[in-house]
């Protein structure tokens, strides 16, 4: 029996998910709780996502490093890591560790770029630079990308909205997206404590990653088919042609 489908555990901890949880949690404890909390190291300033720093000062590494930072609230990192475990493990079992890691990182980085782009447009039209200076931290952008993929691949599975209301995964994801849109409209791009725009960016980045990967696979299949066609050789049965001239030569691939 495939261990990922074993009834012994509904949410098995797959290798890449396990490493991501250990690394993210360890990074949070070592650099934020201890380094920043006790020794006042400017961890969030340099590694958190500040759109102004990314756009104006080219702190491009922040679009990646912000994923491994979280707020001082235990609930923030706990929710993200639990979702990574429950949703990510099944996706890794389906995709394999390489594509799963690529998808996770691309969803998180894509969410950061989407957020920076949205804040830049908002600043250009309103003149409000608040969004450029407030740091964004957390793996939520990547997590929302995972939720989108889960809703697409396992749409008929049952999930619990707010831990109380069971519904199909695809419905859960749609409701979650709707909540993020409404929350964004209520708080605004530069307002509120939750970066709803980054969450929506995770949805968008995840979808584009899946779309791009699917087209890349189709392109590869097409190239392989063309290569096989080019390798086919036209052969003339000259001996048969000589022995039976009335029937002519025979050709095959």
Output the tens digit of pLDDT for each of the chain's 253 residues: 333 444 334 668 999 999 999 999 999 999 999 999 999 999 999 999 999 999 999 999 999 999 999 999 999 999 999 999 999 999 999 999 999 999 999 999 999 999 999 999 999 999 999 999 999 999 999 999 999 999 999 999 988 766 677 899 999 999 999 999 999 998 888 667 889 999 999 999 999 999 999 999 888 888 877 777 666 655 555 555 555 555 554 433 3
- Three-state secondary structure call for residue 236: strand
The span from the CA of 174 to the CA of 197, in Å, is 16
pLDDT of residue 9: 42
The span from the CA of 186 to the CA of 164, in Å, is 25
pLDDT of residue 22: 98
The span from the CA of 136 to the CA of 48, in Å, is 6
pLDDT of residue 166: 86
pLDDT of residue 243: 52
The span from the CA of 223 to the CA of 221, in Å, is 5
Domains of the chain: 11-227 (1.20.1540.10)
pLDDT of residue 12: 87
The whole-model pTM stands at 0.85
Is-contact 114 205, C-beta < 8 A?
Answer: yes
The span from the CA of 50 to the CA of 127, in Å, is 17
pLDDT of residue 140: 97
What is the Cα Rg of the chain in Å?
A: 25
pLDDT of residue 21: 98
């Amino acid at each position: 029996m495939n261990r990922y489908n074993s009834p012994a555990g509904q949410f098995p901890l797959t290798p890449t998910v396990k490493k991501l949880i250990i690394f993210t949690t360890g990074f949070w404890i070592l650099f934020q709780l201890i380094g920043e909390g006790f020794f006042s190291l400017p961890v969030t300033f340099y590694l958190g996502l500040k759109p102004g720093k990314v756009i104006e000062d080219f702190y491009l590494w922040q679009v990646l490093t912000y994923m491994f930072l979280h707020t001082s609230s235990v609930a923030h990192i706990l929710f993200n890591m639990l979702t990574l475990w429950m949703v990510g493990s099944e996706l890794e079992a389906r995709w394999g560790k390489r594509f799963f890691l690529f998808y996770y990182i691309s969803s998180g980085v894509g969410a950061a770029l989407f957020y920076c782009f949205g804040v830049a447009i908002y600043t250009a039209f309103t003149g409000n630079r608040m969004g450029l200076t407030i740091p964004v931290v957390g793996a939520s952008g990547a997590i929302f990308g995972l939720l989108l993929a889960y809703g697409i691949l396992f749409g008929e599975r049952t999930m619990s909205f707010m831990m109380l209301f069971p519904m199909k995964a695809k419905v859960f994801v749609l409701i979650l997206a709707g909540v993020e849109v409404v929350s964004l409209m209520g708080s605004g791009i530069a307002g509120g404590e939750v970066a709803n725009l980054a969450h929506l960016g995770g949805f968008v980045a995840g979808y584009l990653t899946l779309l791009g990967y699917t087209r890349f696979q189709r392109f590869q299949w097409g190239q392989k088919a063309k290569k096989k066609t080019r390798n086919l050789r036209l052969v003339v049965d000259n001996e048969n042609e000589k022995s039976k001239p009335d029937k002519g030569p025979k050709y095959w691939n």
